[in-house]
């Protein structure tokens, strides 16, 4: 069975703070793919990043960074110097042997001025 | 490049009525997905098409839900008859390829309320 756990339901930070969103996954497959999506109030899911199970390199894109650790089955997402526009629900997702993206329940991030 | 288009944005119906949602994927995207997102949860895949063929419909409640993708472009998702528990946002997504490492691009969704 495969499962994605986002233990943080809601996070509230003040602008310019750093924030890390946790994602823990379960899968028996050796080949799998991890994704992060952002869902702003408008409703559409915006793709942020994709990682395959053979690539444990961390990635940085502007204020966003991702830490993939197979040893702890985690794929955490950090926003540096958060901004009000970062307020959204963030989803971590896993795809392995099937085609479906299995999403976590999401973490709602609120950044206040 | 235009994104995934969905209509209507909102729909309110009474239980036991029928409803249909429409999706137009990104031009050139062969793969189309329908997801159901219940409030407070992550999206759940209902059905995936590759061109006009079904790839995965294992989580589609086939007794009441149906979907088609005629001509391999637009798609419609229908619920008949609707139940209260069908209240959710129905998201359509598309991707250029079918591969498991391919990201999907989502529309804004249709918010269905069944009363």
Provide the token pair at A64.
């966003």
Give the number of beta-carbon pairs within 8 Å between A and B.
Answer: 57
Mean pLDDT of B104-113: 94
Higher pLDDT, A30 or B83: B83
What is the overall mean pLDDT for chain A? 92
| B97 has pLDDT over 80 | no
DSSP A86: G
Using CA atoms, how far apart are residues A15 and A82, in angstroms rounded to an integer? Answer: 5
Q: Which residues of A touch B40 (CB under 8 A)?
A: 105
Using CA atoms, how far apart are residues B97 and A45, in angstroms rounded to an integer? Answer: 18
Provide the token pair at A82.
């958060």
Give the model's pLDDT for residue A98.
65
Share of chain A above pLDDT 70, in %: 96
| B46 has pLDDT over 80 | yes
* Listed ranges A15-19, A30-34, B48-52; the one with the highest mean pLDDT: A15-19
pLDDT tens-digit map of B71-92: 889 999 999 999 999 999 999 9
Q: Which residues of B touch A4 (CB under 8 A)?
A: 42
Handedness of CA A82, A88, A94, A100 (dihedral sign): negative
Q: Which of A42, A50, A104 sits opposite B108 (nearest CB)?
A: A42
Q: Which residues of A touch B (CB under 8 A)?
A: 4, 33, 35, 37, 42-47, 50, 52, 91, 93, 95-96, 98-106
Cα distances (Å, whole numbers) of residue A48 to A34, A100, B63, B65, B84: 11, 18, 35, 31, 33
Cα distances (Å, whole numbers) of residue B49 to A6, A105, B52, B57: 28, 25, 6, 9
Mean pLDDT of A11-25: 97
Handedness of CA B106, A9, A94, A2 (dihedral sign): negative
What is the overall mean pLDDT for chain B? 93
Give the model's pLDDT for residue B80.
97
Higher pLDDT, A83 or A29: A83
Q: Is A56 left (phi over 0), alpha (psi -120 to 50) or beta?
A: alpha
Residues A65, A31: contact at Cβ < 8 Å?
no
pLDDT tens-digit map of A38-55: 999 888 899 999 888 888
| B100 has pLDDT over 70 | no
Give the model's pLDDT for residue B104.
87
């Amino acid at each position: 069975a495969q499962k994605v756990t986002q233990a943080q339901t809601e996070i509230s930070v003040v602008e310019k703070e750093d924030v890390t969103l946790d994602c823990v996954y379960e899968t028996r497959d050796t080949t799998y793919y991890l994704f992060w999506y952002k869902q702003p109030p408008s409703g559409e899911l915006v793709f942020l990043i994709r990682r395959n199970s053979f690539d444990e390199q961390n990635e940085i894109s502007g204020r966003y960074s991702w830490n993939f650790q197979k040893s702890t089955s985690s794929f955490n997402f950090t926003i540096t110097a958060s901004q009000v526009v970062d307020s959204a629900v963030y989803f971590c997702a896993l795809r392995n042997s099937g085609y479906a993206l299995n999403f976590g329940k999401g973490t709602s991030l609120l950044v206040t001025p | 490049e235009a994104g995934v288009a969905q209509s209507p944005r909102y729909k309110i119906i009474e239980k036991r009525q029928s409803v249909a949602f429409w999706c137009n994927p990104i031009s050139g995207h062969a793969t189309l997905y329908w997801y159901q997102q219940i409030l407070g949860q992550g999206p759940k895949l209902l059905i995936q098409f590759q061109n006009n063929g079904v790839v995965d419909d294992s989580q589609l409640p086939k007794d009441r839900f149906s979907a088609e993708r005629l001509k391999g472009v637009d798609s419609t998702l229908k619920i008949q008859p609707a139940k209260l528990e069908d209240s959710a946002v129905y998201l359509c997504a598309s991707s250029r390829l079918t591969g498991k490492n391919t990201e999907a691009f989502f529309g804004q969704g249709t918010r269905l309320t069944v009363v």
